[in-house]
Amino acid sequence: MLGRQHEVLAFLSLALLLAPLVESLILLDRLLYLREQGFQCALVPLFDPRFSPRNLVLVAARAPLDGVLEGLEEDSSEEEEEEEEEEGAGGAAQPPGQGRG
C-alpha cells in the first residue's frame, strides 16, 4: 500500500477541497426543494466563516421570515456590542460555549 500512497494523498486532498462546495450545493438543493413546497427559506451565516466554512444554517417557515431574520440580526448586533464593551473595558472575551447560559 505504501507504493500507492501518492494516489491516496491526492484522493483525500481532492475530497477536502471539494467538501465545502458539495455541502453548499446540498444546502441550496434543500432550499430550492423547500421553496417549491411553499416554505419561506433563507441561508443565514451563524458566525464568521474564518472559524469554520460550515457556518450556514437553513431557516424555513411557512410564515414570512422577515420578522424572524430581523430578530437574528438584532441579537447578533447586541452580542457584538457586548463583546466590544468587554474588550474595551480590559476584560478578556470568553471562549465560545462559556459564560452565557
Provide the 10 A C-beta neighbour count for residue 66: 10
Task: Taking residues 88-101, report their average pLDDT.
Answer: 50
For residue 91, is pLDDT > 60? Answer: no
Residue labelled with grid coordinates 474595551: 88
The pLDDT value recorded for residue 89 is 56
What value does the CA radius of gyration of the chain take, rounded to a whole number of Å?
Answer: 20
Query: Who has greater pLDDT, 77 or 32?
Result: 32
- pLDDT tens for 24-70 read 899 999 999 999 999 988 888 888 888 887 888 898 888 777 766 67
pLDDT by residue (tens digit) across 63-75?
A: 777 766 676 666 6
Alpha helices, H only, the chain? 5-36, 66-88
- Whole-angstrom distance, CA of residue 77 vs CA of residue 69: 12
Which helix (H) or strand (E) segment is 43 a member of?
strand 40-45
